[in-house]
Chains A and B, each alone.
Chain A
Amino acid sequence: MTENILVIVEQREGKLNRVSWETIAAGQAIAALTGWTLEAAVVGSGVSAIAGEVAAKKVAKVYDVESPALEPYTPDAFVHGLREFLGKHPAKLVLMPHTYQVRDFVPKLAAALQTTAISDVIGVKHEGGKLIFTRQMFQGKFVADVSFAGTGICFVTFQNGSFRADKVGAGAAAAPVEPVTVEIPAGVVRNKPQEVFKEAKQAVDLTQAEIIVSVGRGIKEQKNIELAKQLADAIGGELAASRPICDSGWLPMDRQIGSSGQTVAPKLYLALGISGAIQHIVGMKGSRSIVAINKDAEAPIFEIADYAVVGNLFDIVPVLIEEVKKARS
């Protein structure tokens, strides 16, 4: 098999999803480790402008994979189109961001090709001539080194923030763009997607908050949310939560941080009773500083905390509120 790496860039409604730059950065890093050739593909209908954008980066070639059936996105069309494309342009490694869209079609694509997708990867090593992918397991309590044991294409999806978009190398000259039309017959696409919509106008834009006080399962009961609110008020921050809190209806969905909620990077992220499951961490790991209070010393949130308090939040937060008030008066 040809020794090349293909990055499939994600676009939605004709706009490049910025997280794709992180995947290009990952591809460039793997190309540097292995000496393999890096190529990219944009998949959609009328997406040549995006292909042009990607061609400015350090990649050998960009494929503009087109079919009218690829818009709007459906897993059936993407799998059919990419199977045809990969049949003609085989790659050793196919890289994508671990987005909801990719999660929707890549397991089907890999299974259709009787191969596997190593999902939600956070790092890559090259050891003894073998690529090793690191991924979190058990909700981030452990990390696994995973190798590909098959012979076909190895699909890999990368967790948001695992590689830095600003590290993407530019090309000396624009890479060639090769238009490829894939044939997706009527009848292939079974699902009928409707328009994408937002449930309600977001009442609070947490991305602009400088301080966020965020609560997780450790808050135990709805009535205890008030305690976190008092701390948020005292310190001049916004109140936020991990998914289970919003699922329970203790705080509105628009205050949810994580992969299905908002992604934030405040000056201070104060996590109360949050264990730090991966889906939460991806939404806040870019915070400038992180303070975590949790009773479980093994909680993954402590891996990324600047200041850690192992203890009962119900003992600590009330006195913390008083101390903060004193300091600010």
Chain B
Amino acid sequence: MTSPKGANIEPPLALLAELTHRCPLRCPYCSNPLELSRASAELDTGTWRRVFGEAAALGVLQVHFSGGEPLVRRDLVELVGHATEAGLYVNLITSGIRLHADRLTRLVEAGLEHVQLSLQDSDPTFGDRVAGFAGAQQAKREVAALVCASGLPLTVNAVVHRQNLGHLEDIIDLAVKLGADRLEVAHVQYYGWALANRAALLPSREQLDQATATVDAARARLTGRLVIDYVVPDYYAHRPKACMGGWGRRFLNVTPVGKVLPCHAAETLPGLDFPTVAEASLAQIWYRSPAFEHFRGTAWMAEPCRSCARREIDWGGCRCQAFALTGDAARTDPACALSLDHELLIGARREAEEAAPEFVYRQHSAVLPRLPERVS
């Protein structure tokens, strides 16, 4: 199908369904926005059911149930059933807290295909401190065993940062011991809560190089047994990542209150009016909404992106990172070494050499420390 500007637009591949912002954990790198939505404002079961139907008709193949913690939705089994009936492949992205055997059985019966379980660390005491929840790591070990016993494939998502990268060998060993088929070694991405905690989380270059070597060795050792996904963090990259595979090219995100976004952080960008599922169908939003058109393709780009040979490889990088660091969402992602703002990341790397400050935990109406200001 073509856009209002005549560009060819492919249907989206996957839907990130953020069912809720509620979560028992308080991780200081949570990808949710700083302003968390309340339970009373969440979409109801029937609306999600309609959204899954619209997504499948639009060409979405996979849905990722995320949050917050999807398990806090009392209708989760019903929602998995509706998504499966619509023809979607259902992944559950969860902390595992309060997932009991009987509920997992009902989720499997409803059509759940895969569980991604978060892990804060291999050391339970430190992991619980990051999660801000006593007993979380023990609960996760029990949930991993339940998932394996159910026959579902298990992914462990281990978020890594300066305070746990020294445990990476143990984290990989634990993933094997828990029976994971796949491990995501996920460097923190610095938006929202994580940006507020950047000085406490960003690793040093030395830590990063060590981690990369550890992952390479583990991949060779565990080929065919454990698939390890690993991406170098933007702050030490030379070229930016094609964030979400390009704006409005591969993914849709629906927030707990029904806003439709090209990525989960896009609401941080000013001046864009993201429609809700109450106002238009997913197809209308995907193919016609000004917000999805805004940074789609290459027409919006300025230099150095505009004339760059990689403009249709990395699509200018991440709009949310460009805005968070420079105040202008249309600038080149500072992760790119060609960006005029690349110095901002180099400055942030210096923080990683200093003592780590205390975490600011995720919560409603937190008082956040001031972010470093841009000086030009």
Q: Do A and B bind each other?
A: no
Interface of B with A (CB < 8 Å)?
A: none
> Which residues of A line the B interface, CB within 8 A?
none
